[in-house]
Structure 1
Amino acid sequence: MTVHTESVVRRTAAGRAGLDYDDSAIEGPLQGYHHETYVIPLPPSSDPGAQPRRGKVREPRPGLFWYDRRCFRSEELLLRALQGRVRRIPEIIEADEAGLQVFIEGRTLGQGVLPSGPLSPRHRRQLRQLFGELAAVKTDEIDIERICSPKDRPADGDSAGFLISLIAFTQERVYREHGAPYHSLFGRLGVSDAALEGLKSRARGLGSRPFVLVHGDLHRANFIVDLRGDLWTIDWELAMIGDPLYDLATHLHLMRYEVEEREEICGIWEEAVEAARPDATSGWRRDLPVLLAYKRAQSVYTDVIRGALVLEEPTGGPNRHLLRGVAEQVHQALAAAQPLFGEQAAPTPGQVMDAYEEWFGSRPAVTASAS
């Protein structure tokens, strides 16, 4: 089934590029969780001095669960609406109703010589521009179909309601529904949804900030350093309208800055957002720990389930070659969120490995398919 799906998406890419199905000019599939993605050459520009360009063709992976709530129906339509408002985002060319993204040539911020090192002064300036441009977007002018339910769209400035809706999504959709088969695994790791109930109580005390457009996933793999060294922002599929502080919390959580740089990034965000939207930074130092706590808790639920999916073999048992790496990642998530789940120390990597072994061993035996 997987081969069939891949061939269909690749054939779509070839068709858009006007190429044969097996043409070597098609690159991919690229690494990515949510989509199967291919890069295709675009027709030459009418400008004789223009550099050759490539486009990005992708389709959602069938049956994939999204661990984050989505807001806009189409990333391409959002990017089209942001042209001229936010710099260094993928250009959209006319291809169909939604359009086709131009592929940004370069490397991700996580692929440099120091992939987890500090940002350069140039990239800090460009990150500041991004924060300011997002805050300056007039959200009522983004006339794009939204797929989140009306109850997940609190009134402008209701930062408490915004965070509570995200916590509710993690609790109801990720832990209770999608995570139901893994509840005994969560139990072995000392995790329940009680931490999310506690976070809801803390969220009710958040101050009010005017809503802006937030990217929702600002980490190193979603920043591209182009051939000139400029920083571009890609993967806008988790963008939404909400509390501007959410972007800072998500960014800090995912980037794992050292303490000194973390403070500098906070200052960059505060200056940029305040300049673009007065009062949008109100109470941010008081409220930031609450949003960071949510991001840490969210990572625990997500990483535990994804770890089980990565480890599962056709026979139903765990892949022991991958077990230690998964256990290390889950241990790090648990350690970061440990205060939310009780006073006991987070399980060690060895204890996490044992928990997965026991959970796989407690499930009914699975007979491997002959195919």
Structure 2
Amino acid sequence: MELLPVHTPDGYDPLELLKPLAAALAGEGPAVAPHAVPGQVFEGTLPNDEIAAVISTSGSTGTPKQTMLSVDALAASAMGTAFALKAEGQWLLTLPVHYVAGFQVLVRSLFAGTQPWVMDASHGFTPESFTKAAAELTDRVRFTSLVPTQLHRLLTDPTPETLRLLRRFDRILLGGAPAGAALRSLARSHDLKITETYGMSETCGGCVYDGTPLDGVEITSVGGRLRIGGGVLADGYLGSASLTEEKFVFNSGRRWFVTDDAGDVALDGTVTVHGRLDDVIITGALKVSAARVTDVIEELPGVEQAMVIGISSEEWGSAVAAAIVGDVDAEVIRQAVHVELGAHAVPKAIVTLDAFPLLPGGKPDRRTVRALLERA
């Protein structure tokens, strides 16, 4: 089967992707491969004619992988979302379409038969551009997908019109990174209809909504590592049979994607994601949960966002380090973590930033933050 690479640089109109995407979903055209890198080469052979899209992973913690998504997987994801939201409607696109969260806005719109509206991102994501775009939606039922950094910007000294339009959305999907206790509380205080999602390119985007797997999705925890099964799974990685075999495994007659995330699954199927497995920092032979330290810091007055990372240390092997956005004294942070979690969890390095550096898809750039902390 043929593959149609589609360059989606700044200024590209994502709606131009709708026609070739519709053809791919109908089996009447080549699979589409939206990408942001000029001249990007997609190496490998598509395994079958059912592949509709090749989407890059975010690359937030490593080299991006080219994930093959079939018509059936994309359909299962779109239908699962409609079932979870109890409606189909018009979507506002605020994210790049070469990442799965933005791409899925187009997919859901095609399956729902609705016309998405695209925010002008020529000057990046701003509350002004979001508000202007949200005001253009015409359908009675309205949805959008945001990453936490975007919502944080929208709720930092928002105008009445921005708040009015945010409340007008029937549902705001929030994913790509943990929202954090402070942001969740702020969203609730403004009566926003937020649904936190968990998923990745390999699962056609979000497949767990507010801890509940989408219809047809099954989650299990093996040795504390989450595995995902169901119709939303990708067919593997283009040009990487060995990695496909490693990450997509068969067990008990079912196919599973082995994530890099730690988590638990309750008896009723509810999923709790604790963070990436490598977010467990072993410092001085003691284990520290980066997620728990983050929660403690984000509960402090004056802290808007926090990111906790393990950095190399000659003395400790790895040391706990924290980057924050906000206005709080470093000693207050250290005392709070010491009281809640113990001396071993106290950050050895703390940096304060005006905002987290971001990857093109809107996720925090962890590697850049780690480099800043290593130099602190």
With the length of structure 2 as denominator, give the TM-score of the two structures: 0.29
Larger-gyration structure (1/2): 1
More helix by share: 1
